Structure 1
Amino acid sequence: MYKKIALICVLVSLFSCKPTLTKTAVIKKQNTVVNKFADTDYTELVTKEFTGSLAYNTTAFVEKYWRVVGNTGFNKSIHYVANELEKAGFVLQEKATENTVLTYRIEKRPLEQPTWESVAASLTIQGEKLPLLQNSTNSNMIALNSYSTPKKGVTAEVIYIADVSKLKDTNVKGKIVFVETSPARVFNTAVVKGGAAGILSYSNPSYLQPEKNTTSIQFRSIPQNKDVKGWAIALSYDAKQRLKKKLQKEKVIVTANIKTNIYPSTELTLVADIKGAVAPEQRLVYSAHVQEPGANDNATGVGVALEMATLTAKFIKEGKLSPKRTLTFLWGDEIVSTRRYVQEDKARAKNIKWGISLDMVGENTAITGGSFLIEKMPDPSAIWTRGNDKHTEWGGSVLSLEQMKPHYLNDFVLKIFKEQGKRTNWEVNTNPYEGGSDHTPFLAADIPGVLFWHFTDQFYHTDNDRLDKVSKTTLKNVGTAALISAYKLLNADEDTAKAIILDTEKAAISRLQEELKQGKIALANGDKLEIQIDIINAWQNWYTAAVSSTLDMVTNASTINNTISKAQATIKQTAEQCIAELKK
């Protein structure tokens, strides 16, 4: 029956089965479809469907490899994600048509420098049967860019340099230099100029709790030098202590045996687009870097981004979602791929409305420590860090007022993540801007950007950052909140903007009241009144501008100008009241 009806319709359509839609009518029809989703609360939809399973399974695949741009593990990870995207209905861009909504592409570029991968290594003290270290259990022991030793290894005396400033005056030729600093810091002096056979180094920071996590090695690197072909081995706390103890008693000779591969390769960046139905040129970009050898850093970001992309494809195919704007996912080299995406196409960059980094987003904090964090766009807490605001152990420099980036995005995502935290008893916190991940290229281009991550992590950048430190529940929480945030932004209109203005106004009042409290404490401790007034004014100016930034959601400013003005007046009045209170 269906085939007969379809055939009749096809024949009749040549004359009158369906009226031809004009371009205006098509746009109107698209807007009608999208508007159905504009006020949708996506919370229930996403919460039910985002399980974290694909994110976890992807993390498990990716974390098996020591990933450097262009090497085997990096490329396998990119192709794994691409294969999953195809399963979800994404079409290779070169095969897509103008009407294809789900597309992906793999951008390929020759690497300027050869790629690198570790194969095997051991470090053995002469006279001892068991190795001091071996790559099978300490995958970070070989410093990145190290060359292979001869097949039988390098056997030489170890010379300990307690004060690296004295290294240049020490004869280290033919010896293996042992230092307690980064190997990159001493490579040129010790190996290139001094003729050392190699380097042993230890430099685990205190936040890794090295005396507790005695086998951890935080990965290190040395300059790639094809003429010298040097190498370095990073030590765990336990190996460092054993070696120092041995050196205190006698001369120590070790054999270092290293096998690595260094070869020309290609840089891969995977880009997936979910095309917007009304304003496809406008987009939200999620970036997840593939390189780095850990599970949490950053196999988890790769996995969460993939589940977000595939689930969005499912919702669109089922008619549960129709994004007005485009949703883009990037998988590539940290900062490099994102910076290129922003810089290489000025027209595209002009229409990137939001950029968010997914980095270290799946931690089991009961094991790793720390908390889930939203690293905020630069606000005055990055100048005056006090009260509940605090920098992480990763560290951040003090910014200036000229570096502020006022925008509603900070408080918008924080509210959604806090709501997810309340539903699932999950801790969500923030930290002032510090940089160092894929949000920085967005901010450098004046694109609103935040970072979703975890810190402190006592296994950060170490070879103990493995799958057992990952929580499927955390992956689900981050992915759920990130996807709800995305859908609300993608379909934002004047009603969304008005709601965000009111939320931003509430956040501003709360912040000003907190700064009043902190100002009183500071005055009691002898600080100057003028500084406290400057802080209040800085927050007032920041939030006044943040409220105005909601204009990026609407095509007609007049629809929200009145709401903006009222909110700004309230913020100004609150700031004046706070200053008056400080002056009493």
Structure 2
Amino acid sequence: MPYKVPKILSIVMTKNLVLLLISAITLSWGQVKNSAVTTDDYLNILRSNISGELAYETTAFVEQFWRVAGNEGFNKSIHKVATSLEAAGYVLEVNASNIDRFTYRIENRPMEHPTWEIVDAELSIVGINEPILSYASNRNMVYQNSTSTPKNGTTAELIFVKDLDELQKVSVRGKIIFTELNIIEIYKEGVLRKGALGIVSYDNPGYLQPEKHVNSIQFRSLPYDSKNTWGIALSYEAKEKVKSALEKGKVFAKVNISSKMYPSEELTVVANIKGSEIPEERIVFSAHIQEPGANDNASGVGAQLEIASMAAKLIKKGSIDAQRTMTFLWGDEIISTKRYLQENEKRAATIKWGLSLDMVGENTAITGGSFLIEKMPDPSAIWTRGKDKHTEWGGKLLTLEDMKPHYLNDYIIHTFMNQGKAAQWTVNTNPYEGGSDHTPFLDSHIPGLLLWHFTDQFYHTDSDRMDKVSQETLKNVSIAALASALTLVNGDSYTAMDIVEIVKDAATTRLAEEFLLSEKSVKAGKPAENEVDIIKAWEDWYLKAITSTRDLASPENTVILDKAILQAQAIIESQSKIFVSELTK
């Protein structure tokens, strides 16, 4: 279901409680000036200009390659981005003058280990005429970092290994291991230590619906090791054929792999739109290129390119401006973003926001995954209940010390909800889980969010191709992400007051929803003090999130913003006090 923000007074409560809340919420709010250019203004401009076409075309180009940092497909994708940036008016930094606002560079660094790419592969069972897997139809069948077999392939007995304990009891030297586990430990023990020739595995999680998508294979990787041989990942159908053959007696398999491993450089594109008034402050977008899929993450590469290109086009036309700098990173997931944040302490100190685009183009009617905004750590990552739920990716249980109170959560959600309503596009959220380019921002104490889709029944599989990508979704994500970014980079005290109102409304709604859940828990016999802790945690989070809007304040207008902050906080504190009183009476 789409996320909807209900009116607080529409919630069924006792008559006296409703009267108390009406009194609290109608505290004097004061008349304040709206932003000169609002998020709605940016949304309207972008809806008339962004089509998603460049994002879709770029996604189609990138997804044709099995991309690993340093390999040919990765590097071609990097240069595709660079060529498109130049077409949009970006100038290579070494050729730029002081008046050039749109610049880019390609950073290159030696890689510690060789890069890898697959050329061809085939898996056969001796006695069965047709191969049970071939690279032409299952491009994820070979584990990353697998080496080539001899030219005519490798033929050996296939032996089933249930687990590590069983591996200690059987001889696998000169044989091929078959297992239905995550293979890394079995690979290290059975291949690298006990002399097996290689490993064949099946480990597709249930959310991929493997019995329905019988030919899908989720890609797998071997950690780089100079002693590596190879691994083959099976589809559900291929796994069933192997098991059927093993039930009849000894099985011999033939594996033929052609792959390349060679020294290379890691490339990253860094593009900038220099801020016209506060260039030292910036928002940073990040989209990783590596991984072999269309949605993951060719779609992020494409959407970010459309955002960067359209921003430059509209600034050149004078339709919009960017008073703070906008930076765009295309590179290796987490690694490129983390390095950008750590290599220059002075620059990192002035990065105000980060947005990660990862799996942002899905045709959800096919993939089954909803568009999601993964929130910065808030209490929903401690108490996940009500409308909040984790994805199948999952998240570890956080503590109050892990919280990251900031207005970015509710501001971005609010903007995307507006675009969702206008475009009849479903927008949902999930508690913090980590695992993409938003984590380096948060690790560096920079507000950062993830834009993505889940649960996707084709996630990380070789079925993640262009037929699962929607240009309409790419358009919606690009519009909402760029409108949000433009509002922030041009933000001032009046923008901050608009955001205070957004966050205040989100806070009162959240507290009301949490109260109803806590009231139900208390009636069911749970300790009231535990429920009070939840209400107080949300109160604290939102009080601090409201305060964080001061980072947008204009020096000459801090007084009016401070007044708005105090008024909003008073409403939140009053509401929390009422709810705590109700829970403990």
Superposition TM-score, scaled by structure 1 size: 0.93
What corresponds to 1:462 in structure 2? 461
C-alpha deviation, 1:414, in angstroms: 0.5
What corresponds to 1:243 in structure 2? 242
C-alpha deviation, 1:185, in angstroms: 2.4
Q: Does the CA contact (< 8 Å) of 2:70 and 2:265 recur in 1?
A: yes
Q: Does 1:531 align with 2:530?
A: yes
2-structure distance, mates of 1:139, 1:255: 18
What corresponds to 1:280 in structure 2? 279
What corresponds to 1:134 in structure 2? 134
1-structure distance, mates of 2:338, 2:82: 21
Q: Does 1:516 align with 2:515?
A: yes
The residue type equivalent to 1:459 in the other structure is: F
SS in 1 for 2:199: strand
Q: Does the CA contact (< 8 Å) of 1:187 and 1:223 recur in 2?
A: no
What corresponds to 2:425 in structure 1? 426
What corresponds to 1:71 in structure 2? 71
C-alpha deviation, 1:37, in angstroms: 5.0
SS in 2 for 1:552: helix
SS in 2 for 1:321: coil
Q: Does the CA contact (< 8 Å) of 2:202 and 2:233 recur in 1?
A: yes
2-structure distance, mates of 1:271, 1:321: 22
SS in 1 for 2:200: strand
Cα deviation digits, residues 370-405 of structure 1 (max 9, x gap): 200000000000000000000000000110000100
SS in 2 for 1:41: helix
Q: What is the correspondence of 1:9-408 to structure 2 with a 5 Å cutoff?
A: 37=37, 41-226=41-226, 228-408=227-407
SS in 2 for 1:157: strand
What corresponds to 2:567 in structure 1? 566
SS in 1 for 2:48: helix
2-structure distance, mates of 1:543, 1:105: 39
SS in 2 for 1:341: helix
Q: Does the CA contact (< 8 Å) of 1:182 and 1:220 recur in 2?
A: no
Q: Does the CA contact (< 8 Å) of 1:383 and 1:400 recur in 2?
A: yes
C-alpha deviation, 1:36, in angstroms: 6.8
2-structure distance, mates of 1:97, 1:546: 40
What corresponds to 1:12 in structure 2? none
SS in 1 for 2:150: coil
C-alpha deviation, 1:224, in angstroms: 2.1
C-alpha deviation, 1:182, in angstroms: 2.0
Q: Does the CA contact (< 8 Å) of 2:163 and 2:186 recur in 1?
A: no
Across the two proteins, how many residue pairs are aligned to each other?
Answer: 549
SS in 1 for 2:398: coil
Q: Does the CA contact (< 8 Å) of 1:278 and 1:325 recur in 2?
A: yes
1-structure distance, mates of 2:579, 2:237: 54
1-structure distance, mates of 2:242, 2:48: 54
Q: Does the CA contact (< 8 Å) of 1:37 and 1:321 recur in 2?
A: no
Show structure 1 runs of 5+ residues with no match: 1-34
The residue type equivalent to 1:276 in the other structure is: G
1-structure distance, mates of 2:54, 2:148: 37
2-structure distance, mates of 1:389, 1:293: 30
SS in 2 for 1:398: coil
Quick check: 81-90 or 515-524, which moved more? Answer: 515-524
Percent sequence identity over aligned pairs: 56
2-structure distance, mates of 1:464, 1:182: 20
Q: Does the CA contact (< 8 Å) of 1:183 and 1:220 recur in 2?
A: no
What corresponds to 1:474 in structure 2? 473
Q: Does the CA contact (< 8 Å) of 1:324 and 1:490 recur in 2?
A: yes
The residue type equivalent to 2:314 in the other structure is: F
The residue type equivalent to 1:339 in the other structure is: K
CA RMSD after TM alignment: 1.1
What corresponds to 1:440 in structure 2? 439
2-structure distance, mates of 1:133, 1:67: 21
Q: Does the CA contact (< 8 Å) of 2:163 and 2:181 recur in 1?
A: no
2-structure distance, mates of 1:229, 1:488: 50
What corresponds to 2:451 in structure 1? 452
Q: Does the CA contact (< 8 Å) of 1:161 and 1:167 recur in 2?
A: yes
C-alpha deviation, 1:232, in angstroms: 0.6
1-structure distance, mates of 2:135, 2:436: 28
Q: Displaced runs of 4+ in structure 1, greater than 6 A?
A: none
Q: What is the correspondence of 1:493-504 to structure 2 with a 5 Å cutoff?
A: 493-504=492-503
The residue type equivalent to 1:87 in the other structure is: A
C-alpha deviation, 1:229, in angstroms: 3.5
The residue type equivalent to 1:372 in the other structure is: F
Quick check: 87-96 or 556-565, which moved more? Answer: 556-565
C-alpha deviation, 1:38, in angstroms: 6.9
What corresponds to 2:579 in structure 1? 578
SS in 1 for 2:451: strand
Cα deviation digits, residues 205-262 of structure 1 (max 9, x gap): 1111111111111011112222x33101000011001100110012111100000000
Q: Does the CA contact (< 8 Å) of 1:101 and 1:274 recur in 2?
A: yes
2-structure distance, mates of 1:325, 1:389: 34
Q: Which has the higher contact order (CA 8 A, sep 6+)?
A: 2
1-structure distance, mates of 2:571, 2:529: 23
Q: Does the CA contact (< 8 Å) of 1:199 and 1:232 recur in 2?
A: yes
2-structure distance, mates of 1:419, 1:56: 23
1-structure distance, mates of 2:332, 2:527: 46
